[in-house]
């Protein structure tokens, strides 16, 4: 436990000195008051009261319900929440990778390999830190609006963010482990991020293509949409929230052993140093 | 105890061995020095022993444990200081040491006291990225000994150090030896090796060319010369021309040769000798004799 907490403290300290928290503060300040969720509802169904209350309270999270007959809203409006969601989920993907390359460049990763720390703690500390930061960041983005959500929705947001953040951090670390430095990683890494952004183009679509389910951002996006506009409500006959959580859980179950395998082969047991 | 038997390593798998059939032992409480120029294979041996490189051929054990399967917990017993600094540049020296101290499951020495001992107390709260090479070297060294390891790997520990700091580091290395640690010192600094090591091995092109205590090697490979400075028998213009600044003549006499022994006897009886020194071979000279090239090449 001592080694684990030491690892988390060290990772957080380095990220603080990399001005991560300043960057997040700027993003938070810039996003203040701009989070606007637009959803359609079936005219035969009653719109839930809670989102309306949020809207009336003038809080930062505004949820606007449009009848199904209304024309599609402007793209920028539809993407506001989606962008928020993606920033939260890619936190560990981006900064975890940057941290890894920094450790490779400084040689501190090599030094760690000759310590009793071990691979499991190294991976665990990174996932714990970035998952925790993702959850904290998600609530910071929601701001005071989070206070008006019920406990189940808050827990749902925390769970989805934790699962999505963990998945993306693990994916980011697994990809970064295969490259020597940030320059080599840049094109493939950004490529993965671009692919992960594809769901944004289909946010709110009534018949999204099936292949979207191969992209980690898609189920998280669906889950957030449901949680913010009424817990568990599947818009337009979408997949139930519980299944979205199961999807994220299953993806983590696949990703974590893959990460452990890649890290063991590429970092902890590399053939040449 | 470090035990290496018939160790071989081929990076490319093409039969070009970077380390070729080397064997040695470092018992507890001993300092073993690897002497050799860059590319001789010293660092490869160290990397194999620490598990950074896979063991391909031969056998190597640390405290009876094969290096083929070193579990993380075993690193509680190993300390290392590599020539190239591998520290967290964004953290201060104290934060670096506290982080590593947190990884060990054994008691560690007080980081601040260690920093003070090597003259870094005043820079303990300075980020390591701002450190000079010598400061980083000192920090690496104290990091390597903070958990009191049984086995210590030191790669060029004096690199970039001023003479007074080098003295402190050498003293601390001796203290580790006296505590019972087995120390493997890799260097191309023959003076450091001569001062510190109980045993040394000359390495070149992946092979150990000669091994033994520095004294034993000097006796084995050195020449039994005596260098004498003496006053000329009768000051002549020719003698003055060959004499040194003080008007003395010099001679190197090989005690293995009867005629030189006789010359020395005559000089001693004449009471004209001003200085007399035995001439031991240096480790550098032995290396040149064995390989035909210098350690720094």
Q: Residues of B with CB below 8 A from A102's CB?
A: 90
The token duo for B237 is 């213009």
A50-104 confidence digits (pLDDT tens): 444 344 344 445 566 666 666 655 444 455 566 666 678 888 999 999 999 999 9
SS3 B66: strand
Q: Is the pLDDT of residue B239 over 50?
A: no
Whether residue A250 has pLDDT greater than 80: yes
> For the residues A151-172, what does the mean pLDDT come to?
91
Both structure tokens of A111: 């030094």
* Residue partners of A86: CB distance under 8 A and separation at least 6: A196, A197, A200, A217, A221
Q: Give the model's pLDDT for residue A238.
A: 59
Distance CA B46, CA A56 (A): 69
Find the mean pLDDT for residues A238-267.
91
3-state SS class at B80 = strand
Contact B52 A6 (CB under 8 A): no
CB under 8 A, 24+ apart: contacts of A238-245: A241/A156, A244/A160, A244/A219, A244/A220, A245/A159, A245/A160, A245/A163
Distance CA A230, CA A269 (A): 48
- Which pLDDT value is given to residue A200? 77
Q: How far apart are the C-alpha atoms of B288 and B203, rounded to whole Å? A: 12
| Tens digits of residue pLDDT in A100-144 | 999 999 888 989 999 999 999 999 999 999 999 999 988 887 776
Kindly indicate the confidence band of residue B252, based on its pLDDT and cuts at 50, 70 and 90.
confident
- Residues of chain A contacting residue B53, judged by C-beta atoms under 8 Å apart: 271-273
Task: Pick the residue of B84, B102, B140 with the most A CBs within 10 A to test the interface with A by mutation.
Answer: B102
Q: Is the pLDDT of residue A256 over 80?
A: yes
pLDDT at residue number A79: 53
Yes or no, beta carbons of B91 and A6 under 8 Å apart: no
State both tokens at A137.
């960041």
- pLDDT band at B138; cut points 50, 70, 90: very high
- Confidence (pLDDT) at A2: 80
Per-residue model confidence (pLDDT) at position B41: 87
**SS3 call for B63:** coil
Could you tell me if A1 lies within 8 Å of chain B, comparing CB atoms? no
Mean pLDDT value across residues B112-117: 94
* Angstroms from A177 CA to nearest CA on chain B: 16
For the beta sheet containing B19-26, the strands, ordered from the edge strand earlier in sequence to the opposite edge, are: B19-26, B2-9, B57-62, B65-66
Q: Which two tokens stand for residue B220?
A: 């084995």
Q: Which residues contact B35 (CB under 8 A, 6 or more apart)?
A: B187, B188, B190, B193, B200, B201, B202, B203, B283, B287, B295
pLDDT at residue A233 greater than cutoff 70: no
Which residues have CB under 8 Å from A177's CB, separation 6+?
A100, A262, A263, A266, A267
Helix (H) or strand (E) holding B269: helix B258-270
pLDDT for res A236: 47
**Percent with pLDDT over 70 in chain B:** 94
Q: What is the pLDDT of residues B176-234, one digit of tens each?
A: 999 999 999 998 888 888 889 999 999 988 999 889 998 888 888 777 788 888 888 76
How many Cα atoms within 13 Å fall on the side-chain side of residue A27?
18
Q: Is B68 on the interface with A (CB under 8 A)?
A: no
The whole-number average pLDDT for the span A250-263 is 96
Contacts of A10 in chain B (CB under 8 A): 88, 91, 95, 99
- Greatest mean pLDDT range, A16-30, A207-221, B237-251: A207-221
Query: Rounded to the nearest 5°, which phi and psi values hold at B32?
Result: -110, 125
Residue of B nearest to A14 (CA): B90
For B220-259, letters b (16+ CB in 10 Å) and e give ebbeebbebbbbeeeeeeeeeeebeeeebbeeebbeeeee
CA angle B193, B196, B197 (to 5 degrees): 70
Per-residue confidence (pLDDT) for residue A57, from 0 to 100: 41
The tens digit of pLDDT for each residue in B60-101 reads 999 989 998 888 899 999 999 987 888 999 999 999 999 999
In contact, A174 and A262? CB cutoff 8 Å? yes
Which residue shows structure tokens 């050498």?
B170
- Give the C-alpha separation, A81 to A223, whole Å: 12
Q: Is the pLDDT of residue B120 over 80?
A: yes
pLDDT in tens, A29-44: 766 555 555 555 555 5
Q: Give the model's pLDDT for residue B271.
A: 84
Q: How far apart are CA A247 and CA A239, in angstroms?
A: 11
């Amino acid at each position: 436990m001592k080694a684990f907490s030491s690892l988390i403290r060290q990772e957080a300290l380095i990220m603080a000195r990399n001005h991560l928290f300043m960057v997040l503060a700027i993003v938070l300040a810039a996003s203040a008051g701009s989070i606007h969720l637009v959803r359609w509802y079936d005219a035969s169904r009653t719109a839930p009261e809670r989102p309306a209350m949020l809207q009336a309270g003038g809080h930062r999270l505004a949820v606007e319900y449009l009848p199904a007959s209304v024309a599609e809203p402007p793209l920028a409006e539809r993407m506001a929440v989606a962008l928020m969601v993606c920033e939260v989920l890619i936190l560990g993907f981006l900064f975890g990778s940057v941290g890894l390359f920094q450790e490779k460049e400084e040689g501190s990763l090599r030094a760690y390999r000759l310590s009793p720390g071990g691979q499991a703690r190294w991976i665990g500390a990174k996932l714990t830190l970035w998952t925790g930061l993702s959850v904290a960041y998600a609530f910071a983005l929601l701001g005071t609006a989070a206070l008006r959500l019920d406990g189940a929705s808050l827990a749902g947001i925390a769970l989805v963010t934790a699962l999505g953040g963990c998945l993306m951090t693990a994916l980011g670390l697994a990809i970064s482990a295969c490259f020597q430095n940030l320059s080599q990683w840049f094109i493939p890494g950004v490529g993965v991020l671009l692919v992960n952004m594809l769901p944004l183009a289909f946010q709110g679509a009534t018949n999204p293509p099936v292949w979207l389910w191969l992209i980690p951002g898609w189920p998280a996006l669906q889950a957030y949409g449901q949680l913010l506009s009424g817990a568990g409500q599947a818009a337009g006959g979408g997949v139930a929230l519980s299944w979205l959580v199961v999807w994220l859980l299953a993806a983590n179950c696949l990703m974590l052993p893959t990460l452990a395998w890649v890290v063991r082969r590429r970092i902890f047991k590399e053939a040449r140093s | 105890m470090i035990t290496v038997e018939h160790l071989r390593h081929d990076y490319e798998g093409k039969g070009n061995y970077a380390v070729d059939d080397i064997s040695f032992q470092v018992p507890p409480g001993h300092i073993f020095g690897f002497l050799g120029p860059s590319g001789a294979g010293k660092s490869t041996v160290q990397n194999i022993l620490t598990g950074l490189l896979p063991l391909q051929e031969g056998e190597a054990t640390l405290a009876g444990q094969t290096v083929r399967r070193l579990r993380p917990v075993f690193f509680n017993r190993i300390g290392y200081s590599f020539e190239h600094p591998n520290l967290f540049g964004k953290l201060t020296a104290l934060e670096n040491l506290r982080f590593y101290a947190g990884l060990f499951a054994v008691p560690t020495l007080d980081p601040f006291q260690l920093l003070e001992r090597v003259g870094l107390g005043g820079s303990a709260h300075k980020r390591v990225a701002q450190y000079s090479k010598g400061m980083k070297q000192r920090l690496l060294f104290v990091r390597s000994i903070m958990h009191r390891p049984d086995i210590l790997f030191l790669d060029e520990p004096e690199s970039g150090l001023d003479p007074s700091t080098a003295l402190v580091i050498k003293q601390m290395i001796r203290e580790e030896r006296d505590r019972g640690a087995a120390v493997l010192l890799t260097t191309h600094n023959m003076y450091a090796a001569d001062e510190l090591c109980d045993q040394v091995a000359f390495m070149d092109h992946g092979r150990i060319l000669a091994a033994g205590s520095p004294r034993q090697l000097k006796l084995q490979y050195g020449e039994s010369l005596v260098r004498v400075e003496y006053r000329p028998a009768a000051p002549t213009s020719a003698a003055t021309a060959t004499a040194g600044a003080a008007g003395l003549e010099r001679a190197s006499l090989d005690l293995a040769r009867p005629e030189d022994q006789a010359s020395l006897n005559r000089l001693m009886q004449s009471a004209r000798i001003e200085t007399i020194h035995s001439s031991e071979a240096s480790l550098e000279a032995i290396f040149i004799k064995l390989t035909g090239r210098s350690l720094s090449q």
